[in-house]
Structure 1
Amino acid sequence: MKKYSYILLALLCFACADEKKSDTSETTKNTTTFSAFLDDYYAKGLELNPLLATATGDHRFNDQFPNFLSDEHQEKLKEHYRFFKDSLQGFDNANLSESEQLSKAILNWDCDMNLRQLSFKNDLLMPINQMWTLNLSVGQLASGAGAQPFKTVEDYHNWLKRLEGYNTWLVTAKERMQEGIENEFVLPKSLIKKVIPQFEVLANTEVEKHLFYSPIKNFPKDFSDESQQELKNKYTKFLTETLIPTFKDIHQFLKQDYLNAGRESSGISAIPYGEAYYNHAIKNYTTTNMTADEIHELGLKEVVRILAEMEKVKTQVGYKGDLKSFFNYVRTNKELMPYDEPQQIIDNFNAIHEKMKPQIEKLFDLKPKTPFEVRRTEAFREASASAEYNQGSLDGTRPGIFYTPIPDAKTYNVFSDEALFLHEAIPGHHYQISLTQENEKLPAFRKTLWYSAYGEGWALYTESLGKELGLYTDPYQYFGMLGMEMHRAIRLVVDTGLHAKGWTREQAIAYSLSNEAESEASIISEIERYMANPGQALSYKIGQLKIRELRARAKEQLGEKFDIKEFHNQVLRTGCIPLQLLEDKIDAWIQEKSAK
């Protein structure tokens, strides 16, 4: 799920609904004030990021697209976080409920992390990469299948106006990249080479076939002929005279000046203040104080542990060679590539869902109301995309969507599909995010927070629930789960290797190929993903291990009082928060249960 971008900051979380409140008049008065303060933080945040508002289903700002890269907007963001951090200190914990104290701690953390992020120039001077950046999110909106609505004539006018702002952002992005060249803030050449084809398509596709023309080809049936013609003319004019020329300009810049300036190094430490930035990224994405060395060593140990489990599966299926050759056997086994058409792959994911439904009751008594769908990743970004989950709208009218890239159905390997569905869909991101959105007692600002250590940690933890959910009966699917866990363990090694230990892209690729069964093409895409967003890949395993640790602790200390459904409720009700706050919450629950 979800990556660092302005839209994907809209991934959502869940919090406690059963925390006790004092009923004194002073607390009630303070609670009302604090609640209004939190609402104000959320409301002003949406004004600063209208794309986030649209993603949550708030359509008041659908025509707006601020220039996120301008000095003016950067300063507004800093003022926003400084003001609310300073104001937060005026609320005494003694007058707040447990839930409000948690909200206070989360908001303080959120302001600190955002202010620290804004102190670096990475996002400003390297605003475009192959996987994580705003241009890709806007492409999803332009397809007409995303959060941007295209139901009324006004919706179409709103999007056209928003595209004017996007065009300004693109022009500024080029200026910022030119500034980045002058100040040694540039992407590695290998990443630039992946961005160039993305803009080449946008620069050279004729208007009627263009991605950004998609809404014109899908008018609602109730639009009059006059309205359709007017919109067609306006969209054609804007694309022809403004947006496509901008795409052409950026494409030329990328394949000439920017590629020539691209760096040969792979890690973030090569740019100015790169080491300090990576230390911040570790804290931001893991919500811990772990060091790069500690994480690297943890990753090495986890790789050894999982390799031992993989050996057992290799023996079970009767394979006689060594484990490395077994990886290649799994990668190339045609029996694990049974499909000819993309729809067959979508159907298989839906079949996995049906298979596990009878068992879900044993582990969960909280289930989301938000609809859910499996879709193929859009063609314009499919080549560089990973499987991902996009949250539904806050009101539940837009479904949660599990996107899976299928560049070639005939070479699509199914060996990890059960684990992938658990992670990206149910009970992974779809449960975690949708339950948050549906919790009416949760402060609005906490519904739009995303801490990868919690969110991705939960999703990786749910992969281990497969046997309890009636899955992994096929040893290759269980091997697929081990493979996905190995993939996240390897991330601890290669991400820190790239960004803190001077590893090259090629070293990271070689290490991955030696320890997992992913295809070489997939591994290359993954390594380049880590290069583009330092630290994000660490969040999965760190979060998963913490949730596993808390489950084991609760089971040991509570004995017969332990209820797995109640434990899952407690984790989900806590929501997207730093891991230390999650641990404090579970420890308090264990104490409360033990005392009964």
Structure 2
Amino acid sequence: MKIKQIILIVLAITFFASCKNESSEKDNSENSNVSADFNMMLNNYYEEGLILNPLKATFSGDTRYNNSFPNFLSDQYISGLTNYYTRFKEEALKFEDATLTDTEKMSKDVLLWECNINLETLSFKNSTHFPIDQMWSVNLVMGQLASGKSAQPFQTVDDYKIWMERVDGYVDWLKTAESRMKEGMAAGYVLPKSLIVKVIPQLKAMTEPNLDKNLFFSPVKNFPDDFPEEDKKAITEAYAEMVLKKVIPAYQSLYTFTSEEYLNSGRTTTGIEDIPNGKDYYKHQIKLYTTTEMTAEEIHELGLSEVARISSEMEKVKNEIGFKGNLQEFFNFVRTNKDLTPYSKPQQIIDNFYAIHEKMKPKLEELFDNKPKTAFEVVQTEKFREKSASAQYNPGSLDGTRAGRFYVPIPDASEYNIYSDESLFLHEAIPGHHYQISLTQENEDLPMFRKTLFYSGYGEGWALYSESLGKELGLYTDPYQYFGMLGAEMHRAVRLVVDTGMHYKDWTREEAIEYCLQNEAEPEAGIISEIERYMANPGQALSYKIGQLKILELRHKAEKELGDKFKIGEFHNQVLETGSIPLELLEYKIDKWIARSKQS
């Protein structure tokens, strides 16, 4: 080859390489711009969302909006919320998938799901016409904050003043709630009487004229030690006026209306299908809480199948213990066994949960590569809501300065049955909600809006899956505690049957209660409270078992396809690292991880 030809070839190669580099740099620049714009859009979604829901900011540890309580029930607010979801859905659709990273693509899919499901929710009138119930409504959240022992801080003079501003907004909400309930009555939206009678004493408690006994006066009974006396005096006087002239009158009016006119109009029927658009609303609730397209019929049949499977396992434990009698008789034996109610003080029950944690600590190292930095604590549920409450977890703050909190209702310590405490701790605390939520909040790779999302199918599914890890974590060595785990799983399987039974198959409250009594060992009072919980929020109770079964399915799939390459810690990383996402997106993610792992 001649020298001239070689030189021309070299020049051509150099030219095309230069063009390619320029093109690559341009592509990288364009991708960088897209990422910047996309992440700015996600950040705007998060920040505007906090303004619309300042309570979410407070529970996240963001104090900027602690003085705010918008009127969530006003037409103006609902219009603004609709515009918010519509606008960000349109913004998200402008970004093409090909221009996004895998993480960004996931965030886009989650954002679109979030906007779509919330717009669907807003198309129903339930959120405005059912503003108050015995378990789920915002007045109960405000009661927690008013105690001075929850997420709203009371450390400075400004903190105390800020709370008073928030209460002003809340009082407006209480007044609107009453008018919305009246509108609902006229349009056929009214709670069943069995739920209304549980709401009435909750409202009545807030009308207590003795300030020392009124929950909203609580913060001034626990001033920080360094508060000047003059500030204490001024704030005490201001809080007395706030409670006596604002809070009590608003609650008194709502209490009078609810205990008389509203109660008299209460439904005698059970299911949500008995209200206008009830059938469509229940379909929506199933989608909202399970994040699937499953039908009520499919879920009901799945529930019956799971109840039968778990009953068979319960029979084995009953026989191991040596109980002579049928399963229903064994349930009653467990409910009333004095050996399973060994405590007399609430603190003994709380200490037992900490002991469970100590027992499982060594095995946690084997099952989980990542553990949250956020602390957690176990506390007794506040008295004002304890009788109608279930055990629950409240997340710590985003910055980790406020611990995650596991609330345990203990109305009477001497009657508290411990047979399911190990599974309860796994579910509500570690590695259940505390790991799932805290690891999400601590994940620096996630955009802010995903750090505070909670999809019940994923979140409650993970928590119930966590209960199944007991033996791997060194627990369930006592057959009663293992039976407690089966009882807790049965409790969630029964939910599939009774929730769809009441809201899809026209079951009565009493039929649902009887089905539970025949199939699980929960005490009757607890069962009644649970059934009424499902009545107040249709579909929510379905999320636990649906989510658990999906995570178990994905684990078994990974174990089968990866064989010796399967590592349980890595599987848990994959499930937890993306935070709360719809189950369809979780399955897509795990499938991609399995495919990558096969090739490695």
**Fold shared per TM-score above 0.5:** yes
* Structure 1 residue 203: Cα displacement: 1.2
Do structure 1's residue 526 and structure 2's residue 526 form an aligned pair?
no
Query: What is the CA–CA distance in structure 1 between the aligned matches of 2:386 and 2:235, rounded to whole Å?
Result: 29
Query: What is the CA–CA distance in structure 1 between the aligned matches of 2:111 and 2:368, rounded to whole Å?
Result: 29
- Cα displacement string for residues 1-27 of structure 1 (whole angstroms, at most 9, x for unaligned residues): xxxxxxxxxxxxxxxxxxxxx982221
Query: What is the CA–CA distance in structure 2 between the aligned matches of 1:32 and 1:507, rounded to whole Å?
Result: 56
Query: What is the CA–CA distance in structure 1 between the aligned matches of 2:542 and 2:487, rounded to whole Å?
Result: 16
Counterpart of 2:538 in structure 1: which amino acid? P
- Among 552, 558, 565, which residue is 2:556 paired with? 552
Do structure 1's residue 79 and structure 2's residue 61 form an aligned pair?
no
Aligned residue in 2 for 1:28 = 32
- Among 296, 299, 308, which residue is 2:300 paired with? 296
CA gap of 1:136–1:23, structure 2 versus 1, over 3 A, is farther
Do structure 1's residue 517 and structure 2's residue 521 form an aligned pair?
yes
Counterpart of 1:115 in structure 2: which amino acid? L
* Structure 1 residue 205: Cα displacement: 4.5
- Among 276, 279, 284, which residue is 2:283 paired with? 279
Q: Determine what percentage of the aligned residue pairs are the same residue.
A: 63
Aligned CA-pair RMSD: 0.8
Aligned residue in 2 for 1:402 = 406
- Among 192, 195, 201, which residue is 1:191 paired with? 195
CA contact (8 A) 1:296 1:492 kept: yes
3-state SS of paired residue (1:203): coil
Aligned residue in 2 for 1:594 = 598
CA contact (8 A) 1:574 1:585 kept: no
Counterpart of 2:596 in structure 1: which amino acid? E
Aligned residue in 2 for 1:481 = 485
Query: What is the CA–CA distance in structure 2 between the aligned matches of 1:117 and 1:467, rounded to whole Å?
Result: 40
The runs of 5 or more residues in structure 2 that have no matched partner are 1-25
Query: What is the CA–CA distance in structure 2 between the aligned matches of 1:319 and 1:494, rounded to whole Å?
Result: 28
The number of residue pairs the alignment matches comes to 575
3-state SS of paired residue (1:401): strand
Could you state the TM-score of these two structures normalised by the residue count of structure 2? 0.95
- Cα displacement string for residues 402-449 of structure 1 (whole angstroms, at most 9, x for unaligned residues): 000000000100000000000000000000000011111110010121
Query: What is the CA–CA distance in structure 2 between the aligned matches of 1:571 and 1:139, rounded to whole Å?
Result: 34
Query: What is the CA–CA distance in structure 2 between the aligned matches of 1:440 and 1:87, rounded to whole Å?
Result: 24
Counterpart of 1:482 in structure 2: which amino acid? L
- Among 115, 128, 132, which residue is 1:124 paired with? 128
Counterpart of 1:391 in structure 2: which amino acid? P
Larger radius of gyration: 2
Query: What is the CA–CA distance in structure 2 between the aligned matches of 1:184 and 1:129, rounded to whole Å?
Result: 16
Do structure 1's residue 63 and structure 2's residue 77 form an aligned pair?
no
Query: What is the CA–CA distance in structure 1 between the aligned matches of 2:126 and 2:312, rounded to whole Å?
Result: 39
CA contact (8 A) 2:85 2:119 kept: yes
Query: What is the CA–CA distance in structure 2 between the aligned matches of 1:339 and 1:88, rounded to whole Å?
Result: 55
Query: What is the CA–CA distance in structure 2 between the aligned matches of 1:590 and 1:255, rounded to whole Å?
Result: 57
- Cα displacement string for residues 290-333 of structure 1 (whole angstroms, at most 9, x for unaligned residues): 00000000000000000000000000000010011000000000
Query: What is the CA–CA distance in structure 2 between the aligned matches of 1:400 and 1:245, rounded to whole Å?
Result: 34
* Structure 1 residue 198: Cα displacement: 0.6
Counterpart of 1:275 in structure 2: which amino acid? K
* Structure 1 residue 574: Cα displacement: 2.3
Query: What is the CA–CA distance in structure 2 between the aligned matches of 1:568 and 1:30, rounded to whole Å?
Result: 31
CA contact (8 A) 2:440 2:578 kept: no
Counterpart of 2:443 in structure 1: which amino acid? N
Do structure 1's residue 540 and structure 2's residue 521 form an aligned pair?
no
Query: What is the CA–CA distance in structure 2 between the aligned matches of 1:23 and 1:480, rounded to whole Å?
Result: 58
Query: What is the CA–CA distance in structure 2 between the aligned matches of 1:372 and 1:205, rounded to whole Å?
Result: 35
CA contact (8 A) 1:203 1:245 kept: yes
Stretch of structure 1 that moved more, 235-244 or 419-428: 235-244
Query: What is the CA–CA distance in structure 2 between the aligned matches of 1:62 and 1:337, rounded to whole Å?
Result: 41
Do structure 1's residue 339 and structure 2's residue 343 form an aligned pair?
yes
- Cα displacement string for residues 189-240 of structure 1 (whole angstroms, at most 9, x for unaligned residues): 0000000011111113411221100100011111111111110011101111
Query: What is the CA–CA distance in structure 2 between the aligned matches of 1:542 and 1:248, rounded to whole Å?
Result: 41
- Among 315, 322, 345, which residue is 1:318 paired with? 322
Do structure 1's residue 107 and structure 2's residue 117 form an aligned pair?
no
CA contact (8 A) 1:88 1:108 kept: yes
Aligned residue in 2 for 1:135 = 139
3-state SS of paired residue (1:131): coil
Query: What is the CA–CA distance in structure 1 between the aligned matches of 2:149 and 2:218, rounded to whole Å?
Result: 9
Query: What is the CA–CA distance in structure 2 between the aligned matches of 1:575 and 1:221, rounded to whole Å?
Result: 39
3-state SS of paired residue (2:207): helix
Match runs of 1:214-363 below 5 Å: 214-363=218-367
Query: What is the CA–CA distance in structure 1 between the aligned matches of 2:452 and 2:82, rounded to whole Å?
Result: 19
Counterpart of 2:214 in structure 1: which amino acid? H
Do structure 1's residue 164 and structure 2's residue 184 form an aligned pair?
no
Aligned residue in 1 for 2:214 = 210
Counterpart of 2:587 in structure 1: which amino acid? E
Counterpart of 2:494 in structure 1: which amino acid? I
Stretch of structure 1 that moved more, 353-362 or 204-213: 204-213
- Among 423, 442, 456, which residue is 1:438 paired with? 442
- Cα displacement string for residues 554-574 of structure 1 (whole angstroms, at most 9, x for unaligned residues): 000000000000000000012
- Among 417, 420, 426, which residue is 1:416 paired with? 420
- Cα displacement string for residues 23-46 of structure 1 (whole angstroms, at most 9, x for unaligned residues): 822211100110101000000000
Task: Point out 4+ residue stretches in structure 1 off by more than 3 angstroms.
Answer: none
3-state SS of paired residue (1:284): helix
CA contact (8 A) 1:204 1:248 kept: no
Counterpart of 1:75 in structure 2: which amino acid? S
The runs of 5 or more residues in structure 1 that have no matched partner are 1-21
Counterpart of 1:379 in structure 2: which amino acid? K
- Cα displacement string for residues 231-259 of structure 1 (whole angstroms, at most 9, x for unaligned residues): 00111011111111111111111110000
CA contact (8 A) 2:130 2:190 kept: yes
Query: What is the CA–CA distance in structure 2 between the aligned matches of 1:99 and 1:441, rounded to whole Å?
Result: 8
Query: What is the CA–CA distance in structure 1 between the aligned matches of 2:198 and 2:252, rounded to whole Å?
Result: 16
Query: What is the CA–CA distance in structure 1 between the aligned matches of 2:213 and 2:298, rounded to whole Å?
Result: 50
Query: What is the CA–CA distance in structure 2 between the aligned matches of 1:276 and 1:209, rounded to whole Å?
Result: 44
